[in-house]
Chains A and B, each alone.
Chain A
Amino acid sequence: MSQTADSVVDQIEHDHSHHGPRKGPLRWLLTVNHKDVGTMYMVLALVALLVGGVMALVIRAELFQPGLQLTQPQFFNSLTTMHGLTMIFLAIMPGLTGLANWMVPLQVGADDMYWPRVNNWAFWMLPPAALMLWVGFFMPQGAPGGGWTLYAPLSSTYAPPSIDWVIMAIHIMGISSIMGALNIILTILKMRTKSMKLWDMPLFTWTWLITGFLLLLAMPVLAIAVTMLLTDRHLGTAFFDATAGGDPVLFQHIFWFFGHPEVYIMILPAFGIVSEIVPAFSRKPLFGRTSMIWAVIAITFLSAIVWAHHMFTVGLPVEAQVLFMYTTMLIAIPTGIKIFNWVATMWRGSMTFEAPMLWALAFIFLFTIGGFSGLMLADVPADYQYHDTYFVVAHLHYVVVTGSLFAIIAGVYYWLPKWTGHMYNETLSQWHFWLSAISVNVTFFPMHFAGLAGMPRRIPDYPLQFMDFNMVSTVGAFVFGFSQLLFIWLIIQTIRGGKKAGDRPWDGAKGLEWTLPSPPPYHTFTEPPSDKAVHEEGPHGYH
């Protein structure tokens, strides 16, 4: 068979854009493909969600009634500590990074990430870090029990040997995050298809661009904090040791200079996901797009100057308390703008309520409740009462579970048909949603009351007047936990088969990812998208 020069070129291009993944077991270890790496991040996040979830259920089971039934106090403390670290660093952050790996190149019309091999490394650092984090449970004095905040001196001088493993695990996870953040920033800035202007980028990509910079700011500070813990333990420094002239409060300043931006690292991409889904299912452009982006930038700036609101009871000068109260209250303004814009996007839309939209709506309702308790906590005189009680536990779970986690689940339902080429089972997904949405409130809402009634956080046993709240919370937690098995089953089912998903399974969805086949070929956008596609899928495409 004779071939013309053209058909040879076709053949080569064909091979180039359609050759599949490496065969055999090394595929996942060696892959530099952004879709494979994204998938691995999502799987890791799901595994960590289960591990951290089991810890949470043991905690809730112990708290079902007063007295100790299951755990010794030290083991209970290890569970609360490890639950926090696992959920933050191995479930929520990798979940959001996985979504970015999958979607950012598709949304900006890039053929892969800027540094594909760095992408592989950034992921593969995490499984060993996870093992280093959890290994403490099998060490002589158990896993650290000083809380995920690792306050000195409880987590330096007074900590079990396993704290050193946790510190090294945090270092590795931090390096991984920094590599991932740089990669995402560079992909967006350097590989974005030419005709896509910065201000026309999809909101998920926008929020990740800003989150990338926030990660670059925050993660090195965490590294500094835990390194100082480590040298206090082993090299004879006394940064946080008051008996040798150090200051334990210094640790809190450094930690929260990381810790508060960290909260926004977990929520900004969630804002992005919700900003994609609400217009898609309202069939209406996002309201106030520019102000949405500026709101995110404003939140990012403010997030770096509010850290001491975690420390109102440590004995700060009253002037500092006033200042941090004001900066914290200011965050309510851009956050409020975001909520109002989502509501205005829905207003006079043409809404349907498939699973992604349900989760996004639950996000808006429940994250707002977390925002309300946040506003209350900003008020220092009242915070003297709220601080370190279950009111704070309720607040942070409304922000992280019904905020970040709900948005990740919404994103998974939204993009799963794109990834797999199949529609998920809608009926089962409705069960998953309603069970989760109800039980999550049964779990966390009573914690507001427990906190106001005076229950401190991080205690394995409690006075009798807190019993009713805790019983209800525990029941809710078990329903919520087991409901997530439905989610796992749904994902497996969808990967295996199901109704074919078209290129654009959601008729209101906009974005370059929807111009690709479902599932997309292994390599996408080896040819940049056409100017017409970029325009039609961008913010001006609705008109």
Chain B
Amino acid sequence: MMWKRLLTALFTLSTAAGAAAQEESSGFNMTRGVTEISRDAFDMHMLLFWICVAIGVGVFGVMTWSLIRHRRSRGAKPAKFSENTTVEIIWTVIPVLILVGVAVPATAVLLKTNAEAPDPDVVVDVHGSQWKWEYVYPDEKISFVSNLASDSRDASQLNAKENPADTPNYLLDVDNPLVVPAGKDVRLRITSDDVIHAWWVPELGFKRDAVPGQFNNADIRIDKPGTYRGQCAELCGSGHAYMPVVVEAVTPEAYDKWVAQQQQAAAKEAEQASAPYNFEVAMKQGKNVYESACASCHQINGKGIEGAFPALEGGKITTGPVEGHLKIVIHGSEKNPVMQAYGDKLSNRELAAVITYERNAWSNDTGDLVTPQAVEAAR
């Protein structure tokens, strides 16, 4: 089965040069994408590609001719020359002209790509963190976390039972995609909460690093509605391959509807968060917090990943004394920086809820209810 696939692959790649030369996206070439930026990048790419092909044909042609004709076995006698000023000037000047010819359009495109829209219709703050994206719409007061879809996660485990080939959009699917209106100016303000990540969707035509402590702006206008997929492009730790970017561009009407829905859901959540705190409420709220903040490492089922992320089900900390559990969630792990300090990221109530959830979900059943007051005391 594998071998058959391999043979097919070898065959397809042997005809690859021809495929790459075709200007439409063939799976071998850069995508033309769905923004002006991506089309410009593609055009620059093809311009350079053809220039390289032309130079290559010239240089390799002369070289091959020489290799065939000027060999001793054909009785070639060596010439004595070792200089020719005219030739040397020509092959210095021609590359200069070619480079100027490339630099002029490249500069124009670069300036255009980096130009900011005067008044963007939608602003989204994009926060990278190990290993998920958080999208915040400051004007609409919406925010949510975008995690790798759980079927991809299951199939991506070492020696998983699930087959990646049977998983739709394997490693390119998320629970909550970024939703933006097509045909409108959207400003992304990209940053990171921990290490450097890079936000990239090939069809949008650029990638920008998510750097802690700075916002990198990217203005996009997507031509047509659709779902566009990409991945984190900057090495960010063990989950680097598992934080895809999915953008859903929808019609402006659908976008307005989506915003309204999100705001209603947020209102409901706020209501839940302000409901009197008891075990049932804590478990409900804790589950939400867990799935957005903890599950990308410790997994929805709490079993973690062997050799990388400890299991919380039956874990020493999650079923041991509450003090230890509070300490590691609020202050992070001393031994392993991957377990961050969540004290600054979550409120007392969220922390209390998620710890309560971890101590009672799955088979943990400790019966403990951790209160926001206990969290405050442990800070």
Within 8 A of A (CB), among B285-321: 305, 307-308
Contact at B79–A348, with CB atoms within 8 Å?
yes
Q: Which 5 pairs between the two chains have the least Cβ-Cβ distance?
A: A242-B213, A468-B9, A315-B216, A459-B241, A242-B212
Question: Which residue on B lies nearest to A507, using beta carbons?
Answer: B72
Interface residue from A72, A332, A387 paired with B233 (Cβ < 8 Å):
A387
Interface residues of A in 250-302 (CB under 8 A from B): 282-289, 291
Task: List 8 A–B pairs whose Cβ atoms lie within 8 Å, in order of A's numbering.
Answer: A67-B156, A72-B305, A315-B216, A336-B95, A368-B56, A375-B51, A385-B42, A464-B170
How many chain A residues have a CB neighbour from B under 8 Å? 103
Count of chain B residues near A, Cβ 8 A: 111
**Cβ distance B101 to chain A, nearest Cβ, rounded Å:** 11
Binding site for B on A (CB under 8 A): 65-69, 71-74, 77, 141, 145-147, 151, 153-154, 157-159, 242-243, 246-249, 282-289, 291, 313-315, 318, 321-322, 325-326, 329-330, 332-333, 336-337, 339-340, 343-344, 346-353, 361, 364-365, 368-369, 372, 375-376, 379-382, 384-389, 446, 449, 452-454, 456-465, 467-469, 471-472, 475, 539, 542-543
Number of A-B contacts (CB under 8 A): 317
Cα separation A412 to B129 with both chains bound (whole Å) = 48
Q: Which residue of A lies closest to B63 (CB)?
A: A343
Which residues of chain B are near A339, meaning CB under 8 Å?
59
- The answer to whether B212 and A243 have CB atoms under 8 Å apart is yes
A430 to chain B, nearest CB (A): 15
A147→B155 CA distance, assembly (Å): 26
Q: Is the CB of B233 within 8 A of A388?
A: yes
Interface positions, chain B 56-71, Cβ under 8 Å from A, are 56, 59-60, 62-63, 66-67, 70-71
A444 to chain B, nearest CB (A): 12
Interface pair B213/A471, CB less than 8 Å apart = no
Does B261 touch A at the CB level, under 8 Å? no
Q: Closest approach, in angstroms, between the C-beta of B254 and any C-beta of chain A? A: 26
**A350 and B233 contact, Cβ closer than 8 Å, known pairs A248-B196, A387-B207, A449-B16:** no
Bits for B8-35, please: 1 = Cβ < 8 Å to A, else 0. 1110110010001000000111110000
Give chain B interface residues in 62-91, CB to chain A under 8 Å: 62-63, 66-67, 70-73, 76-84, 87-88, 91
Apart from A287-B82, A288-B88, A315-B211, what 17 extra A-B contacts exist at CB < 8 Å?
A68-B156, A68-B160, A69-B158, A73-B240, A73-B241, A77-B235, A242-B212, A285-B80, A333-B95, A349-B79, A372-B56, A376-B48, A379-B102, A381-B106, A389-B233, A471-B9, A543-B80
Among candidates B2, B231, B235, residue contacting A151 with C-beta atoms closer than 8 Å: B235
Query: Within 8 Å of chain A (Cβ to Cβ): is B338?
Result: yes
Report if A384-B41 is in contact (Cβ < 8 Å); known contacts: A158-B195, A285-B82, A350-B70. yes
Asked if B44 and A449 make an inter-chain contact with CB atoms under 8 angstroms apart, the answer reads no
CA distance A77 to B110 in the complex (A): 33
In the complex the two chains form, is A68's CB within 8 Å of B171's CB? no
B117 contacts chain A at the CB level, 8 A cutoff: no
Contact B78 A375 (CB under 8 A): no
- B78 pairs with A350, CB closer than 8 A: yes
> Quick one: given A145-B238, A381-B40, A469-B13, are A158 and B207 in contact (CB under 8 Å)?
no
Q: Is B157's CB within 8 Å of the partner chain A?
A: yes
Does B73 contact A333, Cβ atoms closer than 8 Å? no
Q: Are A463 and B29 in contact (CB under 8 A)?
A: no
Question: For A151, what are the chain B residues with a Cβ–Cβ distance below 8 Å?
Answer: 195-196, 234-235
Known: A454-B202, A458-B235, A464-B164. A350 touches B71 (CB 8 A): yes
Bound-state CA distance A376–B194 (Å) is 32
Closest Cβ of chain B to A56, distance in Å, is 17
Residue B120 lies at the interface, judged by CB distance under 8 Å to chain A: no
Q: Which residue of B lies closest to A73 (CB)?
A: B238
- Select from chain B the residue with minimum beta-carbon distance to A151: B196
Query: How far, in whole Å, are A350 and B66 apart by their CA atoms in the complex?
Result: 10
Within the assembled complex, what's the spacing in Å between the Cα atoms of A310 and B374?
A: 48
